[in-house]
């Protein structure tokens, strides 16, 4: 028998929807708008208040802060976009110390799969599809070997959302 959704289910669904929007923006424009990680941050207190188990919110803040610092270091060296750094930190906040490592593993594996896709001839078909949709910038970026890493980060964040719905502690 199905149990009715709780307020926490809706909060986690909002989190998942926001990371999906960030990934879609990154796919289309190779840019993650600031409002997506900002809304993920704003939604976090609702997660803390509605979660069926206690949330280590202090550990989440520390985890998010450490990931943000690492992300900005990668941004400063040109290895990661600023929006990617902010989205990764917002997802790490939700992951907390208990889920950050699995989130980073899923993100890295998804990023590797994306990189293999971009390095393959499939990227030319994707560039053609972008051209037909009128997404000239996306087409140009695909042909220039850019990687929309927000998609990989969204996969890691999605794994966090699934774990939270399954009762894992963050």
| Tens digit of each residue's pLDDT (9 = 90 or more) over 68-122 | 999 999 999 999 999 999 999 999 999 999 999 999 999 999 999 999 988 888 8
Length of the chain (residues): 170
Confidence of residue 51 (pLDDT cuts 50, 70, 90): very high
d(CA 96, CA 62): 8
8-14 average pLDDT score: 96
- pTM over cut 0.85: yes
Please state, for a pLDDT cut of 90, what percent of the chain lies above it. Answer: 74
Which residue has better confidence, 1 or 80?
80
* Contact status, residue 123 vs residue 143, Cβ threshold 8 Å: yes
Predicted pLDDT of residue 1? 60
**145-154: per-residue pLDDT in tens?**
678 899 999 9
d(CA 49, CA 59): 15
d(CA 82, CA 88): 10
- Domain chopping of the chain, boundaries: 7-165
Question: Would you give the DSSP letter of residue 170?
Answer: -
133-157 average pLDDT score: 87
- Helix, strand and coil in the chain, % to nearest 5: 80, 0, 20
25-39 average pLDDT score: 93
Structure-token pair, residue 105 = 């593993």
Predicted pLDDT of residue 7? 95
What is the overall mean pLDDT for the chain? 93
Predicted pLDDT of residue 142? 78
Per the listing, tokens 């890493």 go with: 149
Predicted pLDDT of residue 93? 98
């Amino acid at each position: 028998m199905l149990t009715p959704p709780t307020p926490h289910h809706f909060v986690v669904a909002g989190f998942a929807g926001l990371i999906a929007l960030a990934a879609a923006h990154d796919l289309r424009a190779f840019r993650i708008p600031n409002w997506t990680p900002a809304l993920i941050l704003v939604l976090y207190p609702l997660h803390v208040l509605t979660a069926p188990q206690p949330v280590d919110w202090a550990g989440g803040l520390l985890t998010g802060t450490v990931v943000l610092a690492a992300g900005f270091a990668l941004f400063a060296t040109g290895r990661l976009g600023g929006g990617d750094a902010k989205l990764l930190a917002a997802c790490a906040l939700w992951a907390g110390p208990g889920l950050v490592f699995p989130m980073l593993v899923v993100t890295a594996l998804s990023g590797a799969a994306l990189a293999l896709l971009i390095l393959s001839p499939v990227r030319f078909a994707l560039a053609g599809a972008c051209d037909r949709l009128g997404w000239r910038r996306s087409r140009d970026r695909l042909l220039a070997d850019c990687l929309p890493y927000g998609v990989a980060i969204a996969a890691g964040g999605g794994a966090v959302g699934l774990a939270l719905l399954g009762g894992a502690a963050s």
